[in-house]
Chain A
Amino acid sequence: MIKPRLGHENLGLGVGLRTVHFPHILEHQPEVDWFEIISENFMDSAGRPRHVLEQIAERYPIVMHGVSLSIGSTDPLNREYLKKLKTLAESVNAHWISDHVCWTGVAGRNTHDLLPIPYNEKTLSHLVKRIRIVQEILERPLVLENPSSYLEFQDSTMPEAEFVCRMAEEADCGLLLDVNNVYVSSVNHEFDPVKYIEAIPAPRVVQCHLAGHTNCGTHLIDTHNGHVIDPVWNLFQLMHQRTGGVATLLEWDADIPPFPVVHEEVLKARKYMDENLPLPEQSHSEETVANPSSTAIPHPASFIVAEVE
């Protein structure tokens, strides 16, 4: 019998830590339940980013979220990278380490994108094997996020939901269920997002992601640049009912507003978590955010700009 959230704590409602918010967080110490960091932005840092993180980690629970593990790649795992990941996790007392069900590059390259893999028996076995190795190195279960994607392969023989469920069970890892990604992919690949959420093994869900996206008319792009739209909140509510509540985090990575706006957005989740509270008036439908002329691109990782006097 698997414990809910694989035994991890429900950390509450958190916010993705972004450099533009450093001064606000340090000065105001906002009442945020926890922060998620992009691991790669801190694992080599010996400057201000790491210094600020250490201060934040003294006050708030930290979770590490990576974008370069490339668990689906056919390149060998980068053991030096994994070693640094582990060291950082120990130093900031990270509650868990997550990354994505994807590959980021092959032949020694990194596209800095989260690229999709075909979902079939061979790729499942490839991922499961690599997840087990990573978990042995990190000495903790890995938590993997369902990706948002813009294409599917002819080589796939099973739906993503089935692949993700079997991967989690066979590799004995946790899941980071990004309900916005489920929604984005469901529109792009024309599947039912409710069935996806219902198929996920609830006790393996350790964390949930919320975010905004861009509607380009023929498809959606996971841009993390705005409010969470109503259909995504509805999926969140379903996820909450199924899991009984997991650590939930809002990602806002482009056109980032002041910290209180970002924090307020994730706090909206409370109304979808408590059945005694009236549901908020829904105001962000897909139509209201549609922008067919958008040239939006996803930004899985971000660059930290040097501060010079």
Chain B
Amino acid sequence: MSNESRNLDQLQRWMQTVISWPAGVEAGIASEAAQAKIALESSELETVVTASSKQTSLERIGIYANAYYARLLECLSEEFPALVCAMGKTAFGAFSMEYLQEYHPSSYTLCDLGANFPQFLRENKPQTEENEVDWTDLLIEIATLERVYSEVFDGPGIEQKALLTEETLNSIKPEEWPEISLKMAPCFRLMQFQFPVHDFISNARKGNTPQIPEQQVTYLAITRRNYIVRREAISQAEFFLLSKLQAGLNVGDAITLFAESDLMEPEELGLKLHEWFKRWTTAAFFIDVCKP
């Protein structure tokens, strides 16, 4: 087959298969998927790709094959630097290769390349005893938080919006409070982890080689101010109440559920509520109050 008789679609599907074949170009050419498009032996490659005086056809197509995983792996390493630090470059490379084969890049933007990486790690987590938290959970949590950072960094934010002020909150009459609900900032995320992954990630991103942390349940509030992602460790009590507000419950119902949770004595809650709402408002977790 030569010249124009070969269909372009056939050629492109063949080339994509060959250059993205994880075991290399020759194995790619011999693969069933490539043979189904263009049936040939490696020695017959010149019938598809020409040689130059300095390079064989195999070497020439090999340039694209070498670049394929190297480029995508480099991109994933940039998005998940702390995961590289925790796993080591070799293991990260091996997982990335598997990931790229299971979740083929399909988006027009490299911003989406790592979108399914945390999910991929979860799907491939070795079986452990029920409820047992181990090293692999730490890796999954690091990947999850690093991906959240990417999404919050380039997603919708509040920089161009008028922020909720303490004065607005103070202007709400006490009897109105139970019925109001709060609109969270679009960049606001609440997350619970089994490890203090935020500290590990910050350390790794500074170029350090942090110690692998001990297990310690961690609650984080993540948002973005002035186009920079901010993360704050919060208490379990704050996490509980914020998660109810984020779910759309009005303040009264959220506080009732909170009181039933036994996370805090009622007297202490009364004192804390004012302080929390003031701090959460300053941190711009909420952008509006919604009255019924």
A contacts with B, residue count (CB < 8 A): 60
**B12-A157 in contact (CB<8A):** no
Q: Does A242 contact B (CB under 8 A)?
A: no
Chain A min CB distance to B187 (Å): 9
- Pick out which of these stretches binds chain B: A118-126, A131-139, A262-270, A279-287: A118-126
Q: Which of A37-84 contact B (CB under 8 A)?
A: 40-41, 43-51, 68, 73-74, 78, 81
Which residues 252-309 in A have Cβ within 8 Å of B in the complex? 295, 297-299, 301-309
Is B67 part of the contact surface with A, judged by Cβ < 8 Å? Answer: yes
Of B47-55, B174-182, B243-251, B260-268, the one touching chain A? B47-55
Contact of B59 among A78, A189, A218, A297 (CB under 8 A): A218
In the complex, B276 has a CB within 8 A of chain A: no
Query: B157: which A residues are within 8 A, CB to CB?
Result: 46-47
Categorize the interface residue count of chain B: 35 or more
Question: From residue B79, how far is it (CB to closest CB) to chain A in Å?
Answer: 6
Contacts of B228 in A (CB 8 A): 48, 307-309
Q: Measured between C-beta atoms, what is the minimum distance from B137 to chain A in Å?
A: 22
Is A107 within 8 A of B8, CB to CB? no
With CB as the reference atom, state the residue of chain A lying closest to B151: A306
Q: Is the CB of A110 within 8 A of B108?
A: yes
Counting CB contacts under 8 A, is A111 at the interface?
yes
* A152 near B54: Cβ-Cβ < 8 Å: no
Inter-chain contact A297/B67, CB cutoff 8 Å: yes
B108 touches A297 (CB 8 A): no
Judge if A109 is at the interface, Cβ distance under 8 Å.
Answer: yes
The residue that B9 contacts in the complex, of A44, A74, A81, A299, with Cβ under 8 A, is A74
CB of B50 within 8 A of CB of A308, answer: no
Please pick, from B4, B13, B48, B50, the residue contacting A106 in the complex, using a CB distance under 8 A: B13
CB interface residues, B 203-223, toward A, < 8 Å: 205
Q: Tell whether B156 is near chain A: CB-to-CB under 8 Å.
A: yes
* A219 CB contact (under 8 Å) in B9, B20, B55, B227: B55
Contacts of A96 in B (CB 8 A): none
Residue in B3, B19, B47, B113 whose Cβ sees the most chain A Cβ within 10 Å? B3
Which A residues lie within 8 Å of B106 (CB)?
Answer: 105, 108-110
- Verify if A154 is at the interface (C-beta below 8 Å from B): yes
* A305 CB contacts on chain B under 8 angstroms: 78-79
Instruction: List the 10 shortest-distance A-B pairs measured between CB atoms, nearest first.
Output: A306-B153, A48-B227, A68-B108, A74-B9, A151-B60, A47-B154, A297-B67, A150-B63, A218-B54, A106-B12
Pick 15 A–B contacts, CB within 8 A, sort by A. A41-B111, A46-B155, A47-B155, A68-B109, A74-B9, A103-B12, A105-B16, A153-B48, A155-B2, A155-B11, A157-B4, A303-B113, A305-B78, A307-B229, A308-B229
Q: A106-B12, A111-B16 are in contact. List 16 more A-B contacts (CB 8 A).
A: A44-B154, A47-B224, A68-B108, A74-B8, A106-B9, A106-B16, A109-B105, A110-B108, A111-B105, A112-B71, A120-B3, A151-B60, A151-B64, A298-B67, A304-B154, A306-B153
